[in-house]
Amino acid sequence: MIPYSFTITSHLAITFYLSLSAFIGINIIAIKKNNIAVFNLFLPKGVPIFIIPALVLIELVSYIARVFSLAIRLFANMMSGHTLLKILAGFSWSILSVNSFLSLFSLVPTIVIIVVTFLEIAIAGLQAYVFVTLLCIYINDVLHLH
């Protein structure tokens, strides 16, 4: 949120790396703690035998989708806020660069930019909280199999 700086989490490759590395670490923890029993994550108890193949496939896809879910959630929220700030700053600059009485109206978008900047700081903190909370939930899932 520093002007003319670069936000690293506004790139999908970085957020994907963060979520993939955490996912790999979680799987290493799961295998070390539970050995082969870690595959119980994909098959809940009491499932009728005829839907086991479909359920295992669905659970496996949803388990792998966690990586993409974490990455895309963080990327999209960071990128959308920064894009909004860029658009508002460009709009404010366009109004300010007009040498007429309209340049007085550039104060309104500037105030909006300041408010949105503080909102973006709050959202960045919230997204960090959500990211870590989801990782804790995923770690809890592999430590305490159902």
Q: What is the tens place of the pLDDT at every residue in 16-34?
A: 999 999 999 999 999 999 8
Q: What does pTM read for this prediction?
A: 0.79
Q: What is the mean pLDDT of each run of 10 residues along the chain (146 residues)?
A: 73 92 93 86 85 91 92 89 85 77 74 88 91 92 82
Residue 69: predicted pLDDT: 92
C-alpha–C-alpha distance, residues 89 and 110, integer Å: 7
Contact by Cβ (8 Å): 1, 120 = yes
Q: What is the C-alpha to C-alpha distance for residues 47 and 59, in angstroms, rounded to an integer?
A: 13
Pinpoint the alpha helices (H) of the chain.
Answer: 12-34, 52-97, 107-143
